[in-house]
Structure 1
Amino acid sequence: MGWRRRGFGCPQARRARQDGAVSPDAAPRPAQLRRWRRYLAAERAEAAVYRDLARRREGREREILMALAEAESRHEAHWLQLLGPSAEPAPRPDLRTRFFGFLAKRLGFLFVLVLAQRAEARSPYDDDADATAQMAADERIHGEVLRGLAARGRTQLSGSFRAAVFGANDGLVSNLALVLGIGATGVSPRVVLFTGIAGLLAGALSMGAGEYVSVRSQRELLAASRPDPESQTALPHLDVDENELALVYRARGMDQTEAEAHAREVLATHHLDADAPPEEFDPDEAVGSPWRAAISSFLFFASGALIAVLPYLFGLNGLPAVALAAGLVGIALLATGAVVGILSGASPLRRALRQLGIGFGAAAATYLLGLVFGASVG
């Protein structure tokens, strides 16, 4: 159960939990009842989220998500037993849990998984004497289960996601810096506007072309390192005494003894291995599509760069245009940083502030240079 605020533990609380939670003879305090009801509501909400995710999937993923929902239901039964009649009327989840449930119904599968993974890591059961040690262990393992489910999606997303984030951030920062630097020299707003548009087009085209070449080259390098399936046709004709196949395995990192043993094993069954299909390799999953990366980079750079020139498009100039452009770009930098933080399982706030600091630092340096050059020219 991860959608609760972590409490402050103590050795006595941990010992009490290990001994079997609360004493059945002790009347629960009002604060305990309220906490148990919060836990009960959260467990029910979490089980509902996992069931909703399971309905979107098939096969192994569906089975795993349903098993997570069953685990949350077991935790729910624990709190129902402790609460007894106090479980009625059914408690409502807190605002944070309800908001997560709202997002879970509307966001993509991967986004919900990484949010759930981060939330499971914040379980308060480690420090709560009323939760069993098994429940606390369950919550830690749930985070790893979700990490495993999200791993494939993160891999598939990594190529185009990197291009999109890099393109958006570069468009925001570079064009804001360009617009502020040119504007600080004292030229007319019309010159600033057309400079910004030129920077948008030049940067977007450059980013798109660069991403295409980069991803295409990476795919070619990986393909060159793949084992050649045609080489398996040579297995029946190898000299068993010389065993050239051992050199292949030594080249791949095995020591001599291990390589020779593995080569003898392969040669002994070459009639099977020779007909076996080559290992499946999906370059789109490994590094992404070059066209997808190029288009993502182009569009996200252009959209980021456009934000910096919006005030000038609407006729603003001078300090109001500078302030509005910086404010809009700042909001966009915070948003992209937060998304990166969420999908990488890190703190969204920390990543957002880092993105903002780097972007504003670059823009401020360019603006100051523009002021210096403007003063020298004047």
Structure 2
Amino acid sequence: MPGPTPADIRRWRRYLAAERAEAASYRDLAQRRTGEERAILLALAEAEKRHETHWLDLLGDDVGDPLRTEWRSRVLGSLARRFGGVFVLALAQRAEARSAYSRDVDATATMAADEQIHEEVVRGLATRGRNRLSGTFRAAVFGANDGLVSNLALVLGIGASGVSQQTILLSGLAGLLSGSLSMAAGEYVSVRSQRELLEASSPSPDAAAALPHLDLNANELALVYRARGLTPDQAEVRAAEVLAPFAASTGVDHRDGNAGDPALPGEEDASDAFETERSDPAGERPVDEHETHGTAWGAAASSFCFFASGALIPVLPYLLGFGGMGAVAVASTLVGAALLVTGATVGLLSGTSPLTRAARQLLIGLGAAVVTYLLGLFFGTVIA
């Protein structure tokens, strides 16, 4: 059987370097975690160690000096050593998704399957972080992007109509302030309304307190579970389980109880029946709590700040004394760079290509500004 070719050896050494880098990144990330997340990351590092052993066995005496990994792995390793947030996990998720083992005859089917599963493991870890910051992230991205696009469009549209530099500057500052206030008010109402809807769907504490005093023969509790989606038979079984401690108590007339009565058997735990059912009545759906994170005032404040920071960028050239096409060029360049950053950030956090998301953000933002600029030229000509 012929030995490996120089191309094979180079490819195996690249794989070896990548496995070592990924294992080191997971160990670095694990140092910044505790509990289950730490254990999961260390298990991933061990799995990469098994893959490393495979390439070492193939290379034998041809291992040579350690290779320099590709730039993506170096960036991931550097971030993992210094940070431990969802951005690093999102990069790790993309790194796992790029695995070429399924297309390489020298990688085993088990290794290829491992990499696919690793992507899902890292996705699960990253999802926890995405859920925790989803409210703030939404306000940051939407606020900054709206500020960038709307104020650039406003400034360019007003400027194209032929008004003075002072009018353009005042229009830009007015757009910054009015837009920031509008975003803050809208975010406050949105989050506050969402919380009120969730609170309206949460069980009343009075319902839990009433459990010990129910007519056990009528079993009204089963109707609660039927209203939450269980079948009649499932609801009867669930209600019987919850009321079993009370049914076991003899000589107590629950219907005649009052607030001054001593606690009945199981009364202290009665609220568990409703707390559990509030989010997962059938025991089949996972609880999704990330939408309740954050406060209305916090969301309003962050929206105001993020919109203002984005809306300030198109006004900067005019504040610094630029005018005419020079101001337009500088404003467009600054906004374009900011749109690329926000788009790439969205791509990283969503586990998709940051380049694609950055290009999309840039095209949408500058496209809106160009349309407004052309309208400003048209109306300026018509009015003149």
TM-score (norm 1): 0.89
8 Å contact from structure 2 (residues 90, 348) kept in 1: yes
What is the identity, as a one-letter code, of the residue corresponding to 1:39?
Y
Which 5+ residue runs of structure 2 have no aligned equivalent?
A: 247-264, 280-287
Alignment-derived partner of residue 19 in structure 1:
none
What is the identity, as a one-letter code, of the residue corresponding to 1:163?
A
Alignment-derived partner of residue 22 in structure 1:
none
Shift of 1:273: 6.9
**Distance in 2 of aligned mates of 1:377 and 1:50:** 63
Identity within the alignment, %: 66
**Distance in 2 of aligned mates of 1:105 and 1:297:** 31
8 Å contact from structure 1 (residues 40, 79) kept in 2: yes
8 Å contact from structure 1 (residues 156, 286) kept in 2: no
**Distance in 2 of aligned mates of 1:163 and 1:137:** 37
8 Å contact from structure 1 (residues 307, 329) kept in 2: yes
Q: How does 1:1-378 map to 2 (within 5 A)?
A: 25-270=1-246, 271-272=265-266, 274-275=268-269, 278=272, 279=275, 286-378=292-384
1:31-88 deviations in Å (ceiling 9; x for gaps): 0100000011111110110000000011111111000001001111111111111112
**Distance in 2 of aligned mates of 1:233 and 1:100:** 53
Q: What SS does structure 2 have at the residue aligned with 1:105? A: helix
Q: What SS does structure 2 have at the residue aligned with 1:254? A: coil
8 Å contact from structure 1 (residues 209, 294) kept in 2: yes
**Distance in 2 of aligned mates of 1:339 and 1:71:** 29
TM-score (norm 2): 0.88
Alignment-derived partner of residue 285 in structure 2:
none
**Distance in 2 of aligned mates of 1:43 and 1:289:** 42
Between 1:363-372 and 1:179-188, the stretch displaced more is: 363-372
Q: What SS does structure 2 have at the residue aligned with 1:181? A: helix
**Distance in 2 of aligned mates of 1:253 and 1:206:** 39
1:279-334 deviations in Å (ceiling 9; x for gaps): 49997763422222112211111111111011111111111111111111111111
Between 1:294-303 and 1:50-59, the stretch displaced more is: 294-303
Runs of 4+ in 1 over 6 A off after TM superposition: 280-285
8 Å contact from structure 1 (residues 342, 348) kept in 2: yes
Structure 1's 375 and 224: CA in aligned 2 closer, same or farther, altered over 3 A?
same
8 Å contact from structure 2 (residues 30, 38) kept in 1: yes
Structure 1's 52 and 276: CA in aligned 2 closer, same or farther, altered over 3 A?
farther
Shift of 1:215: 0.7
Shift of 1:251: 0.9
1:198-235 deviations in Å (ceiling 9; x for gaps): 11111112211221221111111111111223322222
Shift of 1:182: 0.7
Aligned residues: 354
**Distance in 2 of aligned mates of 1:284 and 1:81:** 46
